Structure 1
Amino acid sequence: MDRALLALGLLMALPAVADEGMWTYDAFPVEAVSKAHGFTPTQAWLDKVRLGSVRLAGGCSASFVSPEGLVMTNHHCIRGCIEDLSSPKEDLLAKGFLARTPAQERRCPKVEANQLVKMTDVTARMNTATKGLTGAAFNTALKREMSAVESECTTSTDVRCDVVTLFNGGKYHLYEYRRFQDVRLVFAPEFSMAAFGGDPDNFNFPRFGYDVAFMRVWKDDAPAKSPDYLPWAKQGAKEGDLVFVSGHPGGTDRKVTVAELESHRDVYLPYMTMMLSETRGMLRSFAASSPERYRVTRARLRAVENGLKALRGRHQALADPALFTRKRQEEAELRQRVDANADLRAATAGAWDETAKALDEYRRLMPEYRMKEAGDAFSGELYALARHLVRAAEELPKPNAARLREYTDAQVPSLRQQLLRPAPIAKELDEALLAFGLGRLRETLGADDPFVREVLGTESPEGLARALVRGTKLGDVKARQVLLEGGKAAVEASKDPMVLFARKVDAQARAVRNRYEDTVEAVLKRNGERLAKARLAVYGTSGYPDATFTLRLNAGQVKGWDENGRPVAALTTFGGAYARHTGKDPFKLPDSWLKARGKVPDATPLDVATTNDIIGGNSGSPLVDRDGRVVGLIFDGNLHSLGSRYAYVPETHRAVAVHGDGLIAALEHVYGAGHVVRELRAASEAAASPAK
């Protein structure tokens, strides 16, 4: 390749600003950060922060903050656990929770925590397995090799191994995690304070939320030791300070084709926005009918509202002509450079066109796929448990490499945790969700569709949902254990109506999944890989890969922004929270805060905005300073950040965190959690800062 062309490509691959980028730890741009911020992270610093970071397998980030396994994350990341530990007589979401001794810490039934201990490049092995293959054969070979690599790595249930795709298939890495499945709740504030401001304030700033929670990982019925942790900073972050976010951004699409962006804008986002809007309406109606229904619904409703606002923000970003103009220019430039190189031109022949055709196929297939396989028609936890049991019975006897990816050896420990942990199921809500999904199935595919007729027969959606939910025994963990341990024979002999229903619909669900994987997923993966390799050949590897819910590090600053000529300050305060209190939801401070007024100076920082490049999945990420010490806890972004799925805009994109000073002040003076504060401070005193 022409050296001048390569040099220009490498220059263009660098981020426009130093704060942009969700960087893998093995390729963090140390020199760029040093030049921009005057701080050069050493390998020891990077290792310490990496090992202090935690992934919650359900979709959030966290961090170790003491050598005794204390883990910090967001309240909204573990609402499911708090809900599982609650009851009509003890509503922990409403009143909060504080364990004053390790013996009082309560185990979260479904929470798994992962600590990344090793990263290995397995690109050559994946490429060898798929060499010369296309279509379904490529996809099958890739998944089988991934399963084989993960199985070889997974030496015990304490180890989790995932082959992750980077640069849209340009590289593949094996990530090895230390797995913790005994995770116990230590502290959670009231739901009303964690979500203060509700949906109106969500993705906005100024913010005054206290979205904080602490857990502890246990091993062999004792707190697990965590020698690698992030100590607390003695002084919190202030305007202009350099700060880092270490977390697990869930997914970005900054390097996909224009055809894929158009598909997001015109097909996927409108569908999902409509579905969530309808779901929100159903949940609001259900929750309003009784206090108990409100109790079991509010967390799910909040999640739906959060997702709906996020999707609207993404759609708004893609509706901006300026963004599409930029993306088309970037793609045109890449295609021009590829066409100028005979080898790259041959390697990518037809890739853009094949990608576009696969997306057209998905447009036609999506309603059927979303209804039958993706779960939109069969909502609710009881059906999900039934399908897992049915599929586990079918998949687990197969050779590991031949199984569906959710049932490989590497995934079995998480599957067993999901199926066998005792946690209450709100049957009335489950029935309402299933009836809602079945109604959408009939509306989407039509009353005369053969599958709809097979599913509903002469029943109404409400009648069928009622019979299934009220007749099943799957709410009992012992019943699930009998079916899981009994395997295919037990499942086929079961007369449980939900199991029978899951078996009834599974053949068609698998069929549409196969069509999707063979005609859409396989084409997108294969051509995504071809285009990714071309991009790497043109621009080099100095850029960062799209987010994949794998550990990333980002540098930024504490900084406000201008909103239509109005300056937005980077910090909010306790005084601001009290001024925002109206006495009515969602701007009603809980009694604990009202009683504590005056114990914390009004000027104490509560929330903070930074320029860090984040997205969903970063919730719960620690905000650390140049000493590798905690100065905050990421819990949100501003409205402008919702478009970061596709592009980072430094002028207005802001991450939002609970400020470290405010976090400690509320623990001590509002919640009386002095023992947690003492543990954090003792850990801070004992820790040596990672070498710079």
Structure 2
Amino acid sequence: MKRLLIVASLIGATPALADEGMWTYNNFPAAKVKEKYGFEPSQQWLDKVRLSSAKFGYGCSSSFVSPNGLVMTNHHCARGCIQQLSTAKKDFIANGFYAKTQAEELQCPALEVSQLVQITDVTDQLNTATKGLTGKQYADKLKAEMASLEKACTTGADVRCEVVTLYQGGKYNLYKYQRFQDVRLVFAPEHAIAFFGGDPDNFEFPRYDLDVTFVRVYKDGKPAKIDNYFKWSDKGAQEGELTFVSGHPGRTSRGLTVAQLEFLRDVTLPKQLFKLSEIRGMVTEFQNRGAEQKRISTNLLFGVENGLKSMKGKHEQLLDKNFFAQKVAAEQELRKKVDADPKMKTKYGAAWDEIARAQDTFRNIRKDYEAMEAGGINSQLFSLARTLVRYAEESTKPDAERLRGFNEANLPMLNNQLMSKAPIYPELEIAQLTFSFTKLREELGPDHPFVKKVLGKESPAALATRLVKGSKLADLKVREQLSKGGKAAIAASKDPMIQLAALIDPDARAIRKTYEEQVEAVVRKNSELIAQAKFEVYGTGIYPDATGTLRLSFGAVKGYMEDGKKVEPITQMGGTFDRHTGEDPFALPKSWLAAKKDLTATTPMNFVTTNDIIGGNSGSPVINKDAEITGLVFDGNIQSLGGDYGFDESVNRTVAVHSEAIVESLKKVYKADRILEELRPGSTPAVKASPAQ
């Protein structure tokens, strides 16, 4: 894997070169795009693209593609909804889904699509509020001020506001979203073609996937009317063409200090890799129990395998000695410039060492923090129980003093999750909890007070079985009663899952408090100082690390060299059949085999671009300069896995489904003319649609 990264990525401060950058919409380098590609996006163009883009759920991207609320995203982003709507008799993951009429569109449990409607810079307000504060005082004041801004911005249940931290605290923006919580499934292909090639092909290219799903957002029981949406390109992506990707990249770490990267390399990533490997083994064993067990856990296994491969790439990047030496050199260069100026040295000089000390503090509490607070007990039922216990407690406090996530601005989203109709599978819950309790005891040791409090005299399997079989939290009415009943209802509850969550919550809160005050607050405060130092030394024409919020990148459809050979940028539909073996994961669904004679083999299937993306960009639209859909992002190539820490235009590539592949398959494989008519009005004859599966 090639590891040569351009200098801008390494420093994380100088103006980005080449096609690098996941840019915020209020700091997009339009002039730079014009200089390289001859097109300068106007403010009107940027506003339209922003409003046509959407966040999908809590970790993916999407876009509006019709005025009637039709939304396009990846199949793997919508898998949760698709599986939740499936049953043993109607497996929409395996067999696909198409609603031939609007009445047959199925509502997704607990799914939200949100549109970024306004961005406000609130940096000065937050800096003024926290000026001169450190530690607990800084953390408390920052949390309170953020909550106040978000509450004032939130004007109704269909609005969500969030203070976004940029440049590691160098800037703060307030993002205001329009929320759509009535989201209904319209079309999804079979898993076999959406993830054709499976894990062996994941993060690879050439690819031959139809990783697409269409949903529709509703308002007041009717399809929402959307003013800004992307129209469909006539030809789709062409080699050499300018491309833009508008989406929600998760988190990058290009601006972290060397001490933070060392902690990731030596502690965080190895631990995560070991844990994910063990979870993969647990889920694989669970799938071997039978067909139904395989069906209900397929989505979980997909996520685990995807995360495992992604983290391997990240870890390899940080283990590369040349790459890491360049990160060290870049940090030393900045520190020299700071130390050379007495005023800057006094203001910023100690920031790096303070962050390093915070990493040492975290090293000492990591096991307790991760076991008690950060996902140590993994289960849908336990997650619901903890949320109910904490909501009862937090709702009695002033908004500014609540835990983040329980503020007034977050309550509609919280309620949506608590009242989700998504099915809960007891056997899978028992398996996950048994694994969690086993790892808890293994990590902390059998004599740790927290382990004794959780397990008592029971084995992990016995405790997991008792909790799941005794809990009534799968019942929506029970959750509603507990939610409305407050602290009294929680205290009186005999539900064993509620009782466990209440029993261990004081321990979890205590370790969270230690982390927030001694680690997070220190890192936040000193990262702000380093960001300000970078602005003074290198200027402000830079992009911030990704934060899971809307960004825009630019690039072009372009191949690359790998092992001395040219990788062409576009694959063709005919190659999909050449790759078919009849055995998973290279087995095409029956619908594709039946339609082979009708499909045009030269139709573009997948393609790559030089756009700078990261996990979370899945489902992002690829558009041209006319703001038309030319493709749909679903992956990056293997070289892009180090994109968390840097970018190399020569080999880092975005992988997308070609817009023509989507049209060709909708028309000839699925006979989904109702969708085609929305995407390209007037393009389809009036023929009878195929029945829903």
Band of TM-score, shorter chain: over 0.9
| SS of residue matched to 2:232 | coil
The 5 Å alignment of 1:169-318 reads: 169-318=169-318
Q: 2:15: which partner in 1? A: 14
For 2:569 and 2:607, locate their aligned partners in 1 and report how far apart those are by CA, in whole Å: 6
For 2:12 and 2:431, locate their aligned partners in 1 and report how far apart those are by CA, in whole Å: 55
Q: Greater CA deviation, 447-456 or 168-177? A: 447-456
Aligned residue type for 2:15: L
For 2:280 and 2:446, locate their aligned partners in 1 and report how far apart those are by CA, in whole Å: 24
Q: 2:97: which partner in 1? A: 97
Deviation for aligned residue 1:101 = 1.4
Deviation for aligned residue 1:479 = 0.5
Q: Aligned-pair RMSD on alpha carbons? A: 1.4
| SS of residue matched to 1:27 | coil
Q: Are the aligned partners of 1:198 and 1:587 in contact in 2 as well (CA < 8 Å)? A: yes
For 2:236 and 2:420, locate their aligned partners in 1 and report how far apart those are by CA, in whole Å: 39
Q: What's the CA shift string for 1:276-332, capped at 9, x where partnerless?
A: 000000000001111000000111101100000000000001111121121111111
Q: 2:418: which partner in 1? A: 419
Deviation for aligned residue 1:684 = 9.8
Q: Are the aligned partners of 1:67 and 1:683 in contact in 2 as well (CA < 8 Å)? A: no
Deviation for aligned residue 1:340 = 2.1
Q: Are the aligned partners of 2:12 and 2:254 in contact in 1 as well (CA < 8 Å)? A: no
Q: What's the CA shift string for 1:598-632, capped at 9, x where partnerless?
A: 21111111101111100001000000011110000
| SS of residue matched to 2:231 | coil
Q: 1:40: which partner in 2? A: 40
The 5 Å alignment of 1:424-435 reads: 424-435=423-434
Q: 1:360: which partner in 2? A: 360
For 2:683 and 2:365, locate their aligned partners in 1 and report how far apart those are by CA, in whole Å: 54
| SS of residue matched to 2:650 | coil
Structure 1 unpaired stretches of 5+: 1-9, 686-692
Aligned residue type for 1:502: A
Q: Are the aligned partners of 2:676 and 2:683 in contact in 1 as well (CA < 8 Å)? A: no
Deviation for aligned residue 1:358 = 0.7
| SS of residue matched to 2:61 | strand
Pair 683,657 (structure 1): closer, same or farther in 2 beyond 3 Å? farther
Q: 1:508: which partner in 2? A: 507
| SS of residue matched to 1:682 | coil
For 1:227 and 1:113, locate their aligned partners in 2 and report how far apart those are by CA, in whole Å: 16
Deviation for aligned residue 1:262 = 0.7
Deviation for aligned residue 1:341 = 2.1
Structure 2 unpaired stretches of 5+: 1-10, 685-693
Pair 628,684 (structure 1): closer, same or farther in 2 beyond 3 Å? farther
Q: What's the CA shift string for 1:193-240, capped at 9, x where partnerless?
A: 111111000000011111100011000000000010010001111111
For 2:13 and 2:370, locate their aligned partners in 1 and report how far apart those are by CA, in whole Å: 38
| SS of residue matched to 1:554 | strand
Does 1:66 find its partner at 2:66?
A: yes
Aligned residue type for 2:432: L
Deviation for aligned residue 1:586 = 0.5
Pair 11,588 (structure 1): closer, same or farther in 2 beyond 3 Å? closer
| SS of residue matched to 1:332 | helix
Q: 2:495: which partner in 1? A: 496
Aligned residue type for 1:62: S
Deviation for aligned residue 1:11 = 13
| SS of residue matched to 2:244 | strand
Aligned residue type for 2:437: L
Q: Are the aligned partners of 2:338 and 2:349 in contact in 1 as well (CA < 8 Å)? A: no
For 2:181 and 2:525, locate their aligned partners in 1 and report how far apart those are by CA, in whole Å: 35
Q: Are the aligned partners of 2:339 and 2:349 in contact in 1 as well (CA < 8 Å)? A: no
Q: Are the aligned partners of 1:231 and 1:683 in contact in 2 as well (CA < 8 Å)? A: no
Q: Are the aligned partners of 1:483 and 1:491 in contact in 2 as well (CA < 8 Å)? A: yes
| SS of residue matched to 2:55 | strand
TM normalised by structure 1 equals: 0.96
The runs of at least 4 consecutive aligned structure 1 residues that moved more than 3 Å come to none
Q: 2:80: which partner in 1? A: 80
Q: 2:560: which partner in 1? A: 561
Q: Greater CA deviation, 362-371 or 575-584? A: 362-371
The 5 Å alignment of 1:111-130 reads: 111-130=111-130
Q: 2:688: which partner in 1? A: none
Does 1:345 find its partner at 2:331?
A: no
| SS of residue matched to 1:406 | coil
Aligned residue type for 1:181: Q
Q: 2:28: which partner in 1? A: 28
| SS of residue matched to 2:250 | coil
| SS of residue matched to 2:405 | helix
Pair 256,682 (structure 1): closer, same or farther in 2 beyond 3 Å? same
| SS of residue matched to 2:681 | helix
Pair 149,12 (structure 1): closer, same or farther in 2 beyond 3 Å? closer
Q: Are the aligned partners of 1:183 and 1:217 in contact in 2 as well (CA < 8 Å)? A: yes
| SS of residue matched to 2:58 | coil
Deviation for aligned residue 1:191 = 1.3
The 5 Å alignment of 1:44-55 reads: 44-55=44-55
Q: Greater CA deviation, 334-343 or 50-59? A: 334-343
For 2:127 and 2:518, locate their aligned partners in 1 and report how far apart those are by CA, in whole Å: 21
Deviation for aligned residue 1:528 = 0.7
Aligned residue type for 2:16: P
| SS of residue matched to 1:663 | helix
Q: Are the aligned partners of 2:605 and 2:658 in contact in 1 as well (CA < 8 Å)? A: yes
Deviation for aligned residue 1:682 = 1.7
Aligned residue type for 1:194: A
Q: 2:635: which partner in 1? A: 636
| SS of residue matched to 1:237 | coil
Q: Are the aligned partners of 2:13 and 2:535 in contact in 1 as well (CA < 8 Å)? A: no
Q: 1:690: which partner in 2? A: none
Q: What's the CA shift string for 1:80-129, capped at 9, x where partnerless?
A: 11111111111111111111111111111111111011100000110011
Pair 590,27 (structure 1): closer, same or farther in 2 beyond 3 Å? same
| SS of residue matched to 1:13 | coil
| SS of residue matched to 2:209 | coil
Q: Are the aligned partners of 2:247 and 2:616 in contact in 1 as well (CA < 8 Å)? A: yes
Q: 1:594: which partner in 2? A: 593
For 2:293 and 2:325, locate their aligned partners in 1 and report how far apart those are by CA, in whole Å: 47
Q: Are the aligned partners of 2:201 and 2:207 in contact in 1 as well (CA < 8 Å)? A: yes
| SS of residue matched to 1:25 | coil
For 1:396 and 1:105, locate their aligned partners in 2 and report how far apart those are by CA, in whole Å: 36
| SS of residue matched to 1:404 | coil
Q: Greater CA deviation, 293-302 or 338-347? A: 338-347
Q: Are the aligned partners of 2:13 and 2:534 in contact in 1 as well (CA < 8 Å)? A: no
| SS of residue matched to 1:358 | helix
For 1:593 and 1:289, locate their aligned partners in 2 and report how far apart those are by CA, in whole Å: 30
For 1:447 and 1:13, locate their aligned partners in 2 and report how far apart those are by CA, in whole Å: 50
Q: 1:6: which partner in 2? A: none
Pair 493,354 (structure 1): closer, same or farther in 2 beyond 3 Å? same
Q: 2:164: which partner in 1? A: 164
Q: 2:541: which partner in 1? A: 542
Deviation for aligned residue 1:192 = 1.5
For 2:347 and 2:560, locate their aligned partners in 1 and report how far apart those are by CA, in whole Å: 44
Q: Are the aligned partners of 2:84 and 2:423 in contact in 1 as well (CA < 8 Å)? A: yes
Q: Are the aligned partners of 1:358 and 1:524 in contact in 2 as well (CA < 8 Å)? A: yes
Deviation for aligned residue 1:683 = 9.1
TM normalised by structure 2 equals: 0.96
Aligned residue type for 1:276: L
Q: 1:4: which partner in 2? A: none
Q: 1:389: which partner in 2? A: 388
Q: Greater CA deviation, 358-367 or 341-350? A: 341-350
| SS of residue matched to 2:632 | strand
Q: Are the aligned partners of 1:117 and 1:177 in contact in 2 as well (CA < 8 Å)? A: yes
| SS of residue matched to 2:469 | helix
Q: Are the aligned partners of 2:257 and 2:331 in contact in 1 as well (CA < 8 Å)? A: yes
For 1:549 and 1:450, locate their aligned partners in 2 and report how far apart those are by CA, in whole Å: 36
The 5 Å alignment of 1:642-653 reads: 642-653=641-652
Q: Are the aligned partners of 1:232 and 1:684 in contact in 2 as well (CA < 8 Å)? A: no
Q: What's the CA shift string for 1:450-506, capped at 9, x where partnerless?
A: 111111111000000000001000001110000001111111111011100111111
Does 1:619 find its partner at 2:609?
A: no
Does 1:663 find its partner at 2:682?
A: no
